């Protein structure tokens, strides 16, 4: 595993738990954690029960006893590590978004296609697909329970940046993260919606905003503490991104990604309306899926709250008796299970790097749209008059 921050902890938990609850066709051995310093990587390895620590990802991918490379670094390292690992014949799991730019993502998808010809597998860490309620929503849509899809509303809302004293971590730097709320959390919403409705976004119109433009520099830029010092630096990414999207089969959708949505901690919300029904999901209540069946008599219609904890629901039979809910980290165990199964069964896992590229195209299109402000049609000026100088009231 290359990296050992927040996502390193989540992936380590997934790798540890998956073989203990699922009957995997191979047992993943948590061998080596690589970080910028061996000392820090060793701390993570000791804590999470990995055998070794190191500071060279090049040495890791050159090792014959290593089969899988799990990339949990900031986005600026994804392309180089993933491409080298695939060329060395290692299966690669890469955190999202796939890359920091469309060009990098295209090259990575090409490497993944070439590697797949010799049985080398690659997958992107859009883990929320593996929340049982989401996987079940996909089943309901795929089996036609919503009929034809009309419209989608998706948002991923957090508020941890609303405090201007939160320091300038790597997620707020364009050269490290690629973009801000858009790529970090908006990417999840984009992937989920494309996955759920089984269609791709064809065009977008978007806008972005950086609300707090300067923040305290991290006192120890590489450290784990996250304390801000007296010096300030520029935020180079978006805090909020909002866009409308048109799918290639005509579905219309709205998307919102914000780390300034006061009061919302981790609210990834999707609502999908179709000719036979509708679905609604909120990650802050992740064991539940809301389903509206419009084929019922009107007197019986209404959203029902399904507790997705029955043995018949995706992934659940490996866990607890019905009603004993799951949490955030279970998605990472499901991800580890699915990746190991795909490798051993010699099938292409999903989301593939091509699916990661499909998300990257949307991120890039939103940024282009926001930069060009292409669809801004004037409305009011500051005094509440028509922007064109005419007041139609
Ligand atoms: C990882 O999948 C991730 O997107 C993080 O990068 C975000 O910061 C987190 O809030 C959601 O998960």
Query: For residue 389, is pLDDT > 70?
Result: no
Atom of ligand 1 nearest to the CA of 127: 2
| β-pair partners for 82 | none
234 DSSP β-pair partners = 214
Q: Is 372 helix (H, G, I), strand (E, B) or coil?
A: helix
Pocket lining: 184 vs ligand 1, CB cutoff 6 Å = yes
Ligand 1 atom showing the smallest separation from residue 126 Cα: 2
**32 contacts 41 by C-beta, under 8 angstroms:** no
Predicted pLDDT at 224 = 45
Binding site membership of 7 for ligand 1 (Cβ less than 6 Å): yes
Q: Is the pLDDT of residue 320 over 50?
A: yes
Per-residue pLDDT, 393:
35
Mean pLDDT, to the nearest integer, of 81-87? 98
State whether the beta carbon of 201 lies less than 6 angstroms from ligand 1: no
Give residue 228's pLDDT band: very low, low, confident or very high (50, 70, 90): confident
Asked if pLDDT for residue 391 goes beyond 50, the answer is: no
Beta bridge partners of 91: 68
Nearest-atom number in ligand 1 for the CA of 158 is: 10
Work out the pLDDT band at 388, boundaries 50, 70, 90: low
Is pLDDT above 70 for 225? no
- The second-level CATH assignment, the architecture, of 6-128 is 3-Layer(aba) Sandwich (3.40)
pTM (predicted TM-score):
0.95
Exposure b/e, 210-239, CB count within 10 A at least 16 = b: bebeebbebeeeeeeeeebeeeebebbbbb
Domain 129-353+362-369, CATH homologous superfamily name and number: Dihydrodipicolinate Reductase; domain 2 (3.30.360.10)
pLDDT at 221: 52
Is the backbone peptide bond immediately before 319 cis, with ω within 30 degrees of 0? no
Mean pLDDT over 247-275 rounds to 97
Cα–Cα dist 130/351, whole Å? 11
Residue extents of the structural domains in the chain: 6-128, 129-353+362-369
- For residue 96 and ligand 1, the question of a CB distance below 6 A is answered with yes
Using one digit for the tens of pLDDT, what is the confidence trace for 88-144? Answer: 999 999 999 999 999 999 999 999 999 999 999 999 999 999 999 999 999 999 999
Question: What is the model's pLDDT at position 383?
Answer: 81
């Amino acid at each position: 595993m290359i990296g050992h921050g927040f996502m390193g902890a989540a992936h380590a938990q997934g790798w540890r738990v998956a073989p203990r609850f699922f009957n995997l066709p191979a047992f993943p051995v948590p061998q080596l954690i690589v970080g910028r310093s061996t000392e820090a990587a060793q701390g993570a390895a000791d804590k999470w029960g990995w055998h070794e620590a190191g500071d060279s990802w090049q040495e890791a991918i050159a090792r014959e006893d290593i089969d899988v490379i799990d990339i949990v670094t900031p986005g600026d390292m994804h392309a180089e590590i993933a491409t080298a690992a695939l060329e060395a014949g290692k299966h690669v799991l890469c955190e999202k978004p796939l890359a920091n730019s469309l060009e990098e993502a295209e090259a990575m998808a090409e490497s993944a296609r070439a590697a797949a010809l010799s049985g080398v597998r690659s997958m992107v860490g859009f883990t929320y697909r593996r929340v049982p309620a989401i996987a079940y929503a996909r089943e309901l849509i795929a089996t036609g329970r919503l009929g034809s899809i009309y419209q989608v509303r998706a948002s991923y809302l957090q508020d941890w940046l609303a405090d201007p004293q939160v320091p300038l971590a790597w997620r707020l730097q364009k050269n490290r993260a690629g973009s801000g709320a858009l790529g970090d959390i908006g990417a999840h919403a984009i992937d989920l919606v494309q996955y759920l409705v089984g269609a791709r976004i064809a065009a977008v119109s978007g806008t972005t905003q950086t609300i707090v433009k300067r923040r305290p520099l991290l006192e120890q830029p590489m450290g784990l503490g996250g304390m801000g010092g007296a010096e300030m630096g520029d935020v180079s990414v978006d805090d909020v991104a909002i866009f409308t999207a048109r799918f290639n089969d005509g579905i219309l959708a709205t998307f919102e990604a914000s780390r300034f949505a006061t009061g919302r901690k981790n609210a990834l919300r999707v609502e999908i309306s179709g000719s036979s029904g509708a679905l609604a999901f909120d990650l802050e209540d992740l064991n539940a899926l809301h389903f509206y069946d419009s084929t019922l008599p009107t007197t019986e219609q209404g959203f029902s709250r399904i507790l997705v904890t029955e043995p018949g629901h995706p992934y659940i039979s490996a866990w607890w008796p019905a009603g004993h809910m799951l949490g955030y980290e279970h998605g990472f165990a499901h991800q580890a299970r699915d990746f190991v199964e795909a490798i051993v069964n010699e099938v292409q896992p999903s989301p593939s790097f091509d699916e990661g590229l499909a998300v990257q195209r949307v991120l890039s299109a939103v940024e282009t749209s926001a930069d060009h402000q292409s669809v801004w049609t004037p409305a009011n000026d500051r005094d509440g008059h028509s922007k064109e100088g005419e007041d139609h009231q």
